[in-house]
Structure 1
Amino acid sequence: MTSERPLPMLTRRAFSVTLLGAAAVPFAGRAFAQTPSDIRSRIANMSQLHAIMVQRGDDIIVAEAPRGPGLDRVANIKSCSKSIIGLLTGNAIAEGAIPSVNATIGEIAPSIIPSDATPGVEDLTIEDLVTLRAGLEGTSGRNYGAWVNSDNWVSFALRRPMVASPGGRMIYSTGTTHILGAVLTVATRKSLLEQARDVLGRPLGIEIPSWTQDPQGYYFGGNQMAMTPRGMLRIATLMRDQGRFDGDQIIPADWIDQSTQAHTRSPYSGLAYGYGWFLSRSGFVIARGYGGQIIAAHPEKDLAVAITSDPTSPARSGGYFGQLMDLLEGPVLSLA
């Protein structure tokens, strides 16, 4: 992954999702932690970690905020936003605003394509975008500054050269998710903010404040959204329970199934990747954001997890993010 800077008890829902794919992250020894108090001891020395919440079944068994703004104030979830955009994509398809994942930009939103766009971008599919397999040169990392300082973020991203075949390898690029966000906006005739609040905010009872917009007014598709840790935990339970929350089907179960199929793999972490969600070897479904923001669900073990961290410090796979994965795959998983 490249670097980018810029509630009450729940009703039990028991479903199971079969996850494909493998991760390069090794399992940590589960004997290190068997109780919530062991988790508290483990995070005491993790100076970047702000808050962690773990829900098992109906019960929130860990709710700690040793640093940062706490459990009830919003935090920047960074690229966890990409996973939220993935859920909004599934809703747009379910409502008929988008025919299917095979629909193309040219069919759905030709108005966003600049006259000097890279040849072939009109044929990019929704699936190409939501799996980060558009083939376009990324706007993250060294290209990020030039991209967000451009006068048209969508056009800038659609002018990047093709460096891989669409539908081929994963190219981590927030520009790709931003294109998808613009397509969703055109297709639904609602801003991403409206969609996020309508589809997730109100049904789940979580706060989703306004966030960054590009020069054309499109909300940032893939970065800078904010939620409280409690709100993030509700998203995690939604993923855990096949799109259901408090007895209601919020996101279609078949979209959750498709989202948790391995379509590609991150060249950085080795984690498999579905429709906006990373997939671990043990069965965790993970949204990951810069600095160590995590929304994670383990359907088989009935676990949901939310983690916030210092949004200004890097969290590389070989560093702090690796520590967070060890925490998930070891002590947290042992709570099941």
Structure 2
Amino acid sequence: MRSAHLLTVCLLVSLAITVVSADVAADPDPSLADAEDAFAALERSRAMLVLVDGEPVIQRVVDGPDLETPVNIKSLSKVVIGALVGAAIDRDVFAGTGQPVSELLGERVPEDADARVNDITVGHLLSMQSGLARTSGANYGAWVASDDWVAYVLRREFVDEPGGRMGYSTGNSHLLSAALVEQTGESTLALARAWLGAPLNIAIPDWLQDPQGIHFGGNEMRLSPRALARFGEMIRHDGALDGRQVLLADWIEASLTPRTRSRFNNDLYGYGWFITELEGYTAYYGWGFGGQMLYVIPELELTAVMTSDPTPPSSGTTYLRRLEQVVSEHLIPAVAAQSS
């Protein structure tokens, strides 16, 4: 009896050691809390809102206003301008992405502009392939200090042919805003509120205008994280939300189709959207100065908004990669683990 008892005790101890050893060796399950903490640890972080299958799984304010308050989304505005172009095509305001922008701008095209301006299409502007010298980066200050932003862009020298290499320039997006105004007689603000704000049930506050009263195309818009999340959900659902088709599904597909590649971060680029692979999943994202981000990963039913301090200076692609690490190393594994 005594020998049998000792054998039983030894077996139990051995089993316990084996279980403990297995627990120590195994990697801990990825958690959404890890993703939240990784974002909060970044020095510029403001707010993080993550939806999975339409339900919020992370709602975190690190610094600044709450999730309902509009904030400056900087160049993330370009995905909104792209959506407005899609709505304009759907309403026959624009003929399509192959339409020359000079037809839409009319007398706003300066007489001394290079003749190749007539070869720039709506699609070229959306994909940053106008061929015109950039107005972003070091050229930004002189452009926004000019007395006619549209004419300034169209007078820029050609550094490539229209449809050539990508040259990221907010001037391209601003031409689209001007074209919307020229063709409708309405402000870009009014169109954004009617075509996007009302159907998505989101607030779109007024934002900066150029000297001619044209709302800045592709910069300085203000949207709340919750509004951005609803916009992202509409994109994820092929242009529909809450049973309403806001944009044509064909336009969403066209917007997310790679057209060129960014020379800054080497990611693909569509119509206002960057496209990359993260942990084996295709991720579409809009990116604004300072770290204003909207990620849409359809395969995981994931929409993620991250806002950051927009105050210059910003480390640009370096900070982008740190935000991307939050998504790829923490958020995606956590969501994938929950869905498996």
Common topology (TM > 0.5)? yes
* Residue 201, structure 1, aligned to residue 186, structure 2: no
Aligned to 1:322: 321
Structure 1 window deviating more from structure 2 (67-76 vs 34-43): it is 34-43
Inter-partner Cα distance in structure 2 for 1:32 and 1:225? 41
Q: Name the TM-score, length of structure 2 as normaliser.
A: 0.87
Q: CA-to-partner distance for each residue in 1:197-218, whole Å, 9 max, x for gaps?
A: 1111111111110000000110
Alignment partner of 1:130 is 2:129: no
Return structure 1 stretches of 4+ with deviation > 3 angstroms.
none
1:263 to 245, 259, 270: 259
Shift in CA distance, 52/33, structure 1 to aligned 2, threshold 3 Å = farther
Which residue identity is paired with 2:300? K
Deviation at 1:165, TM superposition (A): 1.0
Give yes or no for the alignment of 1:295 onto 2:294: yes
Q: Which of residues 102, 109, 121 in structure 2 aligns to 1:106?
A: 102
CA contact (8 A) 2:296 2:303 kept: yes
- Confirm or deny: 8 A CA contact 2:46 2:63 kept in the other structure: yes
What is the Cα deviation at residue 74 of structure 1?
A: 1.1
**1:168-183 alignment to 2 at 5 Å?**
168-183=164-179
Report the count of equivalent residues. Answer: 305
| Alignment match, 2:18 | none
CA–CA separation in structure 2 for the residues paired with 1:155 and 1:66: 41
Q: 2: distance between equivalents of 1:332 and 1:188?
A: 42
Whole-angstrom CA distance in 2 between matches of 1:95 and 1:86: 14
Structure 2 residue runs of 5 or longer lacking an equivalent are: 1-26
1:33 shift after superposition: 6.9
Counterpart contact for 1:294–1:306, Cα < 8 Å:
yes
**In the alignment, structure 1 residue 166 sits paired with structure 2 residue 165:** no
Match for 1:332: what amino acid? L
- Paired with 2:134 and 2:252, the residues of 1 have a C-alpha distance of 26
Of 119, 144, 149, which residue of structure 2 is paired with 1:148? 144
Partner of 1:109, secondary structure, is helix
User: Partner letter of residue 284 of structure 2?
Assistant: V
Contact 1:112 1:154 (8 Å CA) reproduced:
yes
Unaligned residue ranges in structure 1 (runs of 5+): 1-30
Deviating more after overlay: 32-41 vs 117-126: 32-41
State the partner residue of 1:224: 220
Give the conservation status (yes or no) of the 8 Å contact 2:50–2:304.
yes
User: Which residue of the other structure, out of 74, 79, 103, is the alignment partner of 1:78?
Assistant: 74
8 A contact 2:282–2:297 mirrored in 1 = yes
Given residue 155 of structure 1, which amino acid in structure 2 is its aligned partner?
A
Deviation at residue 32 of structure 1 after TM alignment: 7.9
Structure with greater Cα Rg: 2
Q: Which amino acid aligns with 2:38?
A: R
Deviations 1:282-311 (A, max 9, x none): 311111000000111111110001111000
Higher relative contact order (Cα pairs below 8 Å, separated by 6+ residues): 1
Tell me if structure 2 keeps the 8 A contact 1:50–1:70: no
Higher helix fraction (1 or 2): 2
- Residue 113 of structure 1 contacts residue 122 of structure 1 at CA under 8 Å; is this kept in 2? no
How far is 1:54 from its partner?
0.5
2:54, 2:233 within 8 Å by CA — same for their partners in 1? Answer: no
